[in-house]
Chain A
């Protein structure tokens, strides 16, 4: 054998050995911070498959949503470098993208097909037209209602109900003797809990958080109409102690057959029609309501998305993971193993063009709800901000937490709605002035 042939054989052997080693032992390990939501946990179950395909091992850090926010914010701002991929939402992404805290996802592969991401999601996860996080799953909000109770009440839920109809239906379905509440809604303090719900409700009554000069708008009649409507509806037909109910509490009530209607995240549809629900065979869906004569509905828009913090040492590996986890192939992988009802919803257009997925009872309504949400024009009034159930400015989380605490106190009867609105107006204007907006 000539020297040249020997070298070629040695090189080939080295390559084969190296490739074999890569398949057997991970070449790199990335750390991913995530939340404990059903779709995220399911994704963790497929980690071995990702490692086998790419040679990249994954360490998961699963945290409660608020802890995760605090943890990743601290990590980014101190350049801690603990995470290579972070699970963040639509509120953080544009703000962090603007601060150059995230790696732009502008060079995804052609196979990834970035144009397939639902436009509402892509816009919400971009800053100045640059995508900073890839949606893993997206959601809006919608009405989930008991078809059997609705039928017994002699009513038909329209596809696009008004708040007035919702009140009428709640009155008809409310049955305290049988422990059925006409309606269950969030009232729990917290910007992402009751704060989100009352904000979208206010949008659908024509209200907004700020005018174009960043003046708080809680002193406007639309806010008073919205909050008074909510309080009267819940006092008349809602469950006891609704002021402390959030997503999980209402999900629990609905699954036990104790709510005629529940307006909340579209992602709840798979829970209320799942095996843990006692009413899974009699659930219908409709668009989130609006007040009569107001064009905006009370849909919100949210995505849990995967982003790469700037400064990570493993940017290429992190990008490989994001492409894998948010790809069409991943959706097909989950569908093949666990059925179409369990795939992460609300992220890709192609999912909603798939006839198999459209057989899932809540698929079309989820898409319609997402499409009905417009983060760039959340209110009928002109506003200086982006975001539907939030205002995409760094100060919002702190302000909205305090405002929602005032509202929850009003729901609990500790103060009047007018007092809560007055306090909300004062504290918001004070905070905005301190932050230099006014």
Chain B
């Protein structure tokens, strides 16, 4: 029987949820608001909220100075490519760990996760040298590989968790009906795990989209994605906060829209298996 929740408690938890949500969203809101101010208004103290002359000048300047579409296209290819490739490799890996585990499976999973604990800069020189030897510097393919590998532990872990929720008996039944391994994974397991795979896909797309260490350090002019686009408006000598905000808004807009339309799938996937 479900526990009854008092109205007062509902109001408090709802208000707390809204407060936390607004707090998290405030930096994004402020960035968007600043992008419509002049540079002088952007730094005014006390800050101005809505009572200023709204301008699109910053967007015009950014548009004129930078080839936004080139950066955007690179971001789409790099984030999309690394995510899709990661999923293709991770689904069989997570399947084997979830349904035919060995004595060392847990250790392997922990070891995979432990690679995320090393600061990325620790691998900068070895990876840079590797990229020079393989002629991968400033290429989208090189970045797809790096981001795919760096996000792989998270992808495998998430998929493993979702797959563990699926009863093994269903897969056994399909095998008894003569399904091959490929058919078992693609026609039985994958459709059942669609919410989990979708949320893994979305989350990793967002992670790859926002990745700013490798994308800044392994690119120059050709493969630079939107993170490099934002970085080009940061200045230690000069007040260009309004232009930086316009560039940031343009960079986060696609992922914000994607997140907005797929929020149901994201929440469903992230809470998949949390309640039994």
Binding site for B on A (CB under 8 A): 31, 33, 35-38, 41, 44, 59-67, 70-71, 74, 77-83, 192-193, 246-248, 251-253, 255-256, 258, 265, 267-268, 271, 276, 278
Q: Would you call B236 an interface residue if the criterion is a C-beta within 8 Å of the partner chain's C-beta atoms?
A: yes
- Cross-chain contact B232 with A256 (CB below 8 angstroms): no
- Cross-chain contact B43 with A82 (CB below 8 angstroms): no
Instruction: Return the contact of B236 from the options A65, A74, A278 (Cβ within 8 A).
Output: A65
With contact pairs A31-B221, A71-B216, A80-B132 given, residues A64 and B125 touching in the complex (Cβ less than 8 Å): no
Nearest-Cβ distance from residue B175 to partner chain A, whole angstroms: 50
With contact pairs A63-B231, A78-B129, A82-B138 given, residues A248 and B236 touching in the complex (Cβ less than 8 Å): yes
Closest A residue by C-beta to B224: A61
- Cross-chain contact B236 with A62 (CB below 8 angstroms): no
- Beta-carbon contacts of B229-246 to A below 8 Å, as 1s and 0s? 001111111111000000
With contact pairs A62-B232, A63-B231, A256-B44 given, residues A82 and B239 touching in the complex (Cβ less than 8 Å): no
Nearest-Cβ distance from residue A276 to partner chain B, whole angstroms: 5
Nearest-Cβ distance from residue B220 to partner chain A, whole angstroms: 4
- Cross-chain contact A36 with B128 (CB below 8 angstroms): no
**How many angstroms from the CA of A74 to the CA of B128 in the assembled complex?**
8
Closest B residue by C-beta to A66: B236
Across chains A and B, which 10 residue pairs bring their CB atoms closest together, nearest first? A62-B232, A59-B221, A64-B234, A36-B235, A252-B43, A82-B220, A78-B128, A276-B40, A65-B236, A61-B220
Among A64, A78, A256, A268, the one with the most B-chain Cβ atoms within 10 Å of its Cβ is: A78
Q: Would you call B45 an interface residue if the criterion is a C-beta within 8 Å of the partner chain's C-beta atoms?
A: yes
With contact pairs A61-B221, A255-B43 given, residues A248 and B239 touching in the complex (Cβ less than 8 Å): yes
Which residues of B (160-202) have their CB < 8 Å from a CB of A? none
**How many angstroms from the CA of A37 to the CA of B138 in the assembled complex?**
24
Q: Would you call B65 an interface residue if the criterion is a C-beta within 8 Å of the partner chain's C-beta atoms?
A: yes
Nearest-Cβ distance from residue B85 to partner chain A, whole angstroms: 24
Q: Would you call B124 an interface residue if the criterion is a C-beta within 8 Å of the partner chain's C-beta atoms?
A: yes
Please indicate the chain A residues that have their CB under 8 angstroms from the CB of B266 in the complex: none
Which residues of B (89-145) have their CB < 8 Å from a CB of A? 124-125, 128-129, 131-132, 137-138
Q: Would you call B217 an interface residue if the criterion is a C-beta within 8 Å of the partner chain's C-beta atoms?
A: yes
With contact pairs A36-B240, A82-B137, A82-B138 given, residues A74 and B216 touching in the complex (Cβ less than 8 Å): no
Q: Would you call B39 an interface residue if the criterion is a C-beta within 8 Å of the partner chain's C-beta atoms?
A: yes
Known contacts A61-B228, A67-B216, A276-B40, then 20 further A-B pairs from the complex at CB < 8 Å, ordered by chain A residue: A31-B221, A37-B235, A61-B224, A61-B232, A62-B231, A63-B228, A63-B231, A66-B236, A77-B125, A78-B128, A247-B236, A248-B239, A251-B238, A251-B239, A253-B45, A255-B40, A258-B45, A265-B237, A271-B239, A278-B40
With contact pairs A37-B235, A38-B238, A252-B45 given, residues A79 and B132 touching in the complex (Cβ less than 8 Å): yes
With contact pairs A60-B221, A63-B232 given, residues A248 and B132 touching in the complex (Cβ less than 8 Å): no
Please indicate the chain B residues that have their CB under 8 angstroms from the CB of A252 in the complex: 43, 45, 239
Among B39, B40, B43, B220, the one with the most A-chain Cβ atoms within 10 Å of its Cβ is: B220
Please indicate the chain B residues that have their CB under 8 angstroms from the CB of A36 in the complex: 232-235, 238, 240
Closest B residue by C-beta to A31: B221
Closest B residue by C-beta to A246: B236
Please indicate the chain B residues that have their CB under 8 angstroms from the CB of A78 in the complex: 125, 128-129, 132
Closest B residue by C-beta to A275: B40
Please indicate the chain B residues that have their CB under 8 angstroms from the CB of A70 in the complex: 217
Closest B residue by C-beta to A71: B217
Among B131, B132, B222, B237, the one with the most A-chain Cβ atoms within 10 Å of its Cβ is: B237
